[in-house]
Structure 1
Amino acid sequence: MAQEAGSSSSNGCFTCIARVFQIKKTFYALLNITILCGCLTILLLRGTIGIRNPSFTYTLGPKISNWDQERSNWLNKNPEFPNYVNGKARVLLVTGSPPGPCDAPIGDHYLLKFIKNKIDYCRIHGIDIMYNMAILDEELAGYWAKLPLIRRLMLSHPEVEWIWWLDSDAMFTDMIFEIPLFKYNNSNLVVHGYLELFNQKSWIALNTGSFLLRNCQWSLDLLDAWAQMGPKGPIRDEAGKVLTAKLKGRPAFEADDQSALIYLLSSKKGQWMDKVFLENSYYLHGYWVGLVDRYEKMMEKFHPGFGDERWPFVTHFVGCKPCGSYADYAIEKCFRSMERAFNFT
């Protein structure tokens, strides 16, 4: 019996030792896997956690350097798709909204009104329109989503001379006024802005809620340069600090496309400004707060067709965010003002 007990005890001891070795083996295997996964994670995410190659440059797509020639060749080979029709440049108006529903149904209702308004204006003036609901580049979500979209449309529609971006919360309030494209024969970017504020590097010197960009190599280069502050995460956060420090009156928040454009144009005037037209003779962008309450007086004294302070071409509801759950203004006032603008047209 004692011998059997000793044998049993010995077997139990060997079993325990074997189990310990097995546990250690499993532990070290898991540790190695964890270390390997950690290394792979660092390699994959090094572009977003600051361990970035100093020579790295974000791009919207493969580098294109001869678009003017390629586009000219395409137009010559496809005369049925001219970039000028009856002497008028072909324009594509581009707008859009997030792919999901608004936070409240009334937001979708007003987005529908906004797009109907744009479709009506484009139908009257022979302008093509494109409504986007897709996010083409996850890195450039939010304010920045328009940049990869515009670039892709330029390359896929060489017959279009001008891409006209108009925010979803902007509305035509002068259906008769027509953009004087003849003024911009020597320009590639037309944006509502004020030279005095631009020279002061004010963060409201221009507004990117409504602008025209010519389909050309210069514009592709501008989009690439513009997008550098756009990738979400640390890049956008750090760029926001630079913009707040450099632009007069700018609050502290992540980099936005409007501030980035002002900074780019003002810091490299020699490279860009010769082809930029700061337009303020009419309201390519009209801030709604100073306009909506004057609609009745405008109707008493003037008539549509001016596009300026007498009868604003575009009323832009900046800060209302009809599709979101918060806004910079009382949402009831925003919706009430949108209704007035819709009926003013």
Structure 2
Amino acid sequence: MRSLPTTPGPSCCGSGVLINDKFKRVLQNWLHVVTAVFIGGLLCWGIIRTFQSGLLSRLSIEADHTDLSPTLDEKLAGSSVDLPGLSSETPDNGNVFYEKAGFKLHVNTSYRLRPRISDWDDQRRRWLSKNPHKKGIVTGKSPLFLVSSSQPSPCENPMGDHFLLKAIKNKMDYCRLHGIDIFYNMAQLDPAMVSFWVKLPLVRAAMVAHPEAEWIWWMDSDALFTDMAFELPLDKYSNYNMVVHGWERKVFEEKSWVGLNMGVFLIRNCQWSLDLLDAWAAMGATGPLKLQIGKFLTSFLSERPENFEADDQGALIYLLNAEKERWRSKVYLESSYYLHGFWVKLVDKYEEMRRKYHPGYGDDRWPFVTHFVGCELCSGDTNTKYSAEKCRKNVEKAFNLADDQILKIYGFHHQSLQSSDVLYL
């Protein structure tokens, strides 16, 4: 015999309760929808207003390069300062042929690093006269401003960001010891300047933003200071506007692509330098001429790879040869110490250097800079000559060689150049 259900069946009263519950649920759902639409509308309105405000601000800035708000000046400098270098000129359009010294190269001159400045020396002189307290603010001698950068996105190589962290720590240590300001950039300042060329708009921006700095010092992210005691002999360059590690014979007689290295260089904060950067950048702006210029540079220079797009190093060597009267006399090719030191020739000698010598020489006895050209620490796309493991081990040695000079101040040293472990002295 089937048992009776324990739950009573629906009645008239029970049906009314169910109907009321359904009505309440429908009403609540509609209230949720209305609330969501209202909140969504507020968010959209806020986004549109923010976009409009940002766009208008950007258009306002681009319409008038000569005006900086006092509020921004106060935030950046602590007081209202009339920053120079913001006047602009309309760039020339069209193409030209370089026909100096028998060399001929088709270059697009419609591109210019902006804003175009033609009276920088006068602007800078006036600014320094109005702000005498800023002169020499970087160092007590000849002011330096170090600039370096890396890509804005994470490294493809899993160890790449770790290497970059060590490299910037190394640069900060050197700058702290010698009273040098440093700017490390991770933004691409000009979409037309990519790959090797990103340094040009950054160096130029540093010049304009820091008229108090006499020299802008560029250093690649994969270059490390390995002699923390060595100081640049700036008095030696009083008659020059640019200092690059290189050799006169290889640049001007052999016209060799490896006659100098653009990984580390000094450039004076003056009109000559701004003019050079403009002439230089015209050979590297992204566009159809870039590959053509690369082919020309390969035909013009020895030891340059085939099928290689225009690069900053080859372009500078070309300019120094093609327009000697304009550029050559103001460029100092330095080889008496390692402003740039090729890691392959140096790292294996570190232990011997430590036994025989001490920091402060900057040359073969103890290299000032060790540059890991070809290792591509961030991308991981190493030169076929060097394995990723070899690059990793040698970067570790270079970093520890420099870091030991810092740790010694605090009473420690690395267990070995291959180890991150430290011991008491």
TM-score relative to the length of structure 2: 0.68
Residues in 1 aligned to 2:400 and 2:115: alpha-carbon distance in whole angstroms? 45
CA-to-partner distance for each residue in 1:125-160, whole Å, 9 max, x for gaps? 011000000101111111000101111111111111
Match of 1:182 among 225, 232, 235: 235
The answer to whether structure 1 residue 240 and structure 2 residue 300 are counterparts is: no
Specify the code of the residue in structure 2 equivalent to 1:287.
F
Deviations 1:94-116 (A, max 9, x none): 00100000013311001000000
| 1:125 maps to which of 169, 178, 191 | 178
**What residue is the counterpart of 1:170 in the other structure?**
223
Is 2:261 aligned against 1:220? Answer: no
- For residue 209 of structure 2, the aligned residue among 137, 156, 161 is 156
Deviates more, 1:223-232 or 1:114-123: 223-232
SS at match of 2:183: strand
Answer whether contact 2:138 2:179 (CA < 8 A) is retained.
no
Residue 233 of structure 1: CA displacement? 3.3
Structure 1 position 68 matched with structure 2 position 125: no
**Distance in structure 1 (CA, Å) of the matches to 2:139 and 2:263:** 29
Quote the residue 2:397 is aligned against.
Answer: 340
Q: Which runs of 4+ in 1 moved over 3 A?
A: 52-56, 83-87
Once residues 289 and 401 of structure 2 are traced to their aligned partners in structure 1, the CA distance between those partners, rounded to angstroms, is 42
- Identity value in percent: 60
Partner residue in 2 for 1:28: none
Aligned to 1:54: 95
- Which of residues 326, 332, 341 in structure 1 aligns to 2:381? 326
Bigger Rg, which one: 2
- Following superposition of structure 1 onto structure 2, how do residues 240-259 of structure 1 map, counting pairs within 5 Å? 240-252=294-306, 253-259=308-314
What one-letter code is carried by the residue in structure 1 that aligns with 2:267? L
Deviations 1:311-341 (A, max 9, x none): 0000000000000031102111001000011
Query: 2:320 aligned to 236, 244, 265, which one?
Result: 265
| Structure with the larger RCO, 1 or 2 (CA within 8 Å, 6+ apart) | 1
Which amino acid is 1:309 matched to? D
- 3-state secondary structure, aligned to 1:229: coil
Is the CA contact (8 Å cut-off) linking 1:84 and 1:161 kept in structure 2? no
| TM-score normalised to structure 1 length | 0.83
Would you say how many aligned residue pairs link Structure 1 and Structure 2?
294
Matched, 1:146 2:199: yes
Question: What is the alpha-carbon distance in structure 1 between the residues aligned to residue 231 and residue 95 of structure 2?
Answer: 46
What is the DSSP-based 3-state SS (H/G/I as helix, E as strand, rest coil) of the residue aligned with 2:282? Answer: helix
Give, in angstroms, the shift of residue 80 of structure 1.
Answer: 1.5
CA contact (8 A) 2:138 2:181 kept: no
Gap change, CA 1:337 and 1:275, over 3 Å in 2? same
- Following the alignment from structure 1 to structure 2, what is the Cα–Cα distance between the partners of residues 190 and 339? 28
- Describe the SS at the equivalent of 2:148: strand
In structure 2, which of residues 319, 329, 334 is the aligned counterpart of residue 279 of structure 1? 334
Letter in 1 for 2:95: P
Match for residue 148 of structure 2 among 95, 103, 106: 95
- Which residues of structure 1 form unaligned runs of 5+? 1-51
Q: Which runs of 5+ in 2 are unaligned?
A: 1-92, 97-107, 403-425
Q: C-alpha offsets along residues 176-216 of structure 1, whole Å, 9 cap, x if unaligned? A: 00001010111100000011101210000100000000000
